[in-house]
């Protein structure tokens, strides 16, 4: 199954991209980097520039039908830029409209708020997003990983890089469950 990783051209937290990417690959799935511009994305280790990664597809040209699931890595600047891009927000919302699973870590729920898909869902995030999520209609909990299986689609959220092991184990299991239930998208 092809898994979309959506990032802005600059500001994604490197470990929140690379560890989930490795987990998807190790699970036998195909990770694909989607961004708002072609070229390369600049990752960061907190506030310091880290590696760059090649973009596979631009969000404006991407279709949810090409992917079985979506991963939203964090970093402060990454989701802040994504939530200001109409194509990125529409791409995220399309996964929920299609009932496909989405995994988001750290600050990534900012993009989910902009896509108006958090209302009525129980989720977690970096603590500073608590009020934003509550104001958007979500129920916020302080847990390593939270799976919200409310329709449409499953949402897996996590708080921070320290929770990556649990996050990766949980979302890869949920993605496999979705694929096993007969999902044919992104194959």
- Give, as one character, the DSSP assignment of residue 154: -
Q: Which residues pair with 45 in a beta bridge?
A: 48
Hey, which residues are catalytic here?
Answer: 107
Using DSSP's 3-state secondary structure scheme, residue 91 falls into helix
Contacts (Cβ under 8 Å, ≥6 apart) of 102: 69, 70, 71, 72, 92, 95, 96, 112, 153, 154, 155, 156
The token pair at 146 is 């939270």
- Give, as one character, the DSSP assignment of residue 172: H
Residue pointed to by tokens 């092809």: 2
Contact 103, 161 (CB under 8 A): no
Q: In whole angstroms, give the CA distance from residue 179 to residue 187.
A: 9
Contacts (Cβ under 8 Å, ≥6 apart) of 54: 33, 39, 40
């Amino acid at each position: 199954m092809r898994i979309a990783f959506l990032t802005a051209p600059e500001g994604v937290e490197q470990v929140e991209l690379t560890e989930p990417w490795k987990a998807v690959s190790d699970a036998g799935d195909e990770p694909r980097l989607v961004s708002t511009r072609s070229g390369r994305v600049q990752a960061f280790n907190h506030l310091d520039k880290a590696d760059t990664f090649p973009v596979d597809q631009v969000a404006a040209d991407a279709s949810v039908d090409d992917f079985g699931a979506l991963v939203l890595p964090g970093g402060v600047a990454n989701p802040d830029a994504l939530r200001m891009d109409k194509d990125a927000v529409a791409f995220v919302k399309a996964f929920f409209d299609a009932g496909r699973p989405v995994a988001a870590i750290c600050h990534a729920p900012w993009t989910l708020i902009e896509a108006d898909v958090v209302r009525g869902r129980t989720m977690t995030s970096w603590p500073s997003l608590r009020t934003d999520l509550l104001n958007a209609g979500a129920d916020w909990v302080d847990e390593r990983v939270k799976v919200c299986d409310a329709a449409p689609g499953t949402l897996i959220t996590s708080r921070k890089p320290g929770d990556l092991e649990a996050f990766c184990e949980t979302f890869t299991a949920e993605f496999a469950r979705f694929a096993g239930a007969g999902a044919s998208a992104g194959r």
